[in-house]
Amino acid sequence: MTELEISGEKSEVKPLKILSSKEQINLTKKGKIVIISLPPLNKTEPNQWQRILDDFKTRLQKIDTSWQLGTKVHLQSNDRLLDTRQISELKTIFEQVGLTLDLIITRRRQTAVAASTAGYSVRQETLTSTLIGENETEQNQDLAEPLYLKTTIRSGVEIYHPSTVVVFGDVNPGATIIAKGDVFIWGTLRGIAHAGAMGNRAALIMALRLEPTQLRIAELVARAPDNPHDHNMAEVAYISSEGIKIYSAFNFNRHHDFISAKNYWLKL
């Protein structure tokens, strides 16, 4: 056992435990993207996060870092919860070796909220969706809880969620919301919104003010109207027999019914 003399007293120094490969942050280059995967949480070790960061910084000094300055990082946090402080710590480490954090992939809603609030693109996945693959059918639309974001979605940010997305704020031009369920914007939609992304034609896009760059519902696409309405009335975009239409949000469900046999909304 190693001992250290401090003020005449002997103090025991325990050697640091070396992290196994399963406990380390893993880095993989894939084309022009660097994919960084975080290890699962070890609930029995309270200081695990700092040890993981220290280990990662040490290994970064030894591995091949021949990527171009500003190379984008896709961070896979998986089931690990991240707050804005931890995301900021990782961002700083990446920037020190010329990497730019671009996308955070997570299965945890809290991490998705923290990441989007910090201004990063987010793709939220579910454990079930990773098992059944990309060919999900309409009955799987409600696998995840809705994602509630209390922030303005800035240009360049893309939010992907396997259910409904609710934004309490604006969606700026250059920003994109992709949801397998509905998209509700409690503000102005000026960017791109894609509802029913896996083919759910019953999905809706609603905003207090609709000024989108583009609207998508299921496989249909509509561009912004040449002469947008000059009013402050909330509106809903939906699939009708003639394609995507926009209607007043007031009493929408009383005036429309989704006809499953025809796979579109019918105005009553």
Please write the tens of the pLDDT for every residue from 77-94: 988 999 999 999 999 999
* Type of residue found at 79: D
Tokens of 45: 């070790």
Three-class SS state of 249:
coil
Tokens of 128: 């079930």
Check: CB of residue 179 under 8 Å from CB of residue 197. yes
Quick one: pLDDT band at residue 145, thresholds 50, 70, 90?
Answer: confident
Tokens of 133: 């693959």
Please write the tens of the pLDDT for every residue from 175-223: 999 999 999 999 999 999 999 999 999 999 999 999 999 999 999 999 8
Q: What is the dihedral of CA 233, 239, 242, 245, to 10 degrees?
A: 10
- CATH code linked to domain 135-268: 2.160.20.70
Distance CA 262, CA 253 (A): 17
Domain 14-124, CATH class in plain words: alpha beta
Burial 47-68 (b: 16+ CB within 10 A, else e): eebebbbebbeeebeeeeeebe
Of the candidates 129, 76, 133, 127, the residue with the CA atom closest to the CA atom of residue 105: 76
Domains of the chain, residue spans: 14-124, 135-268
Which of 15-19, 47-51, 95-99, 118-122 shows the lowest mean pLDDT across its residues?
15-19
Of the candidates 49, 123, 142, the residue with the CA atom closest to the CA atom of residue 88: 49
Secondary element (H or E) of residue 51: helix 48-60
Residue 246: predicted pLDDT:
93
Residue 3: predicted pLDDT:
42
Distance CA 128, CA 251 (A): 35
* Type of residue found at 75: L
Of the candidates 243, 45, 204, 86, the residue with the CA atom closest to the CA atom of residue 101: 86
Residue 12: predicted pLDDT:
52
Distance CA 261, CA 134 (A): 25
pTM assigned to the model: 0.81
Check: CB of residue 115 under 8 Å from CB of residue 106. yes
Residue 153: predicted pLDDT:
96
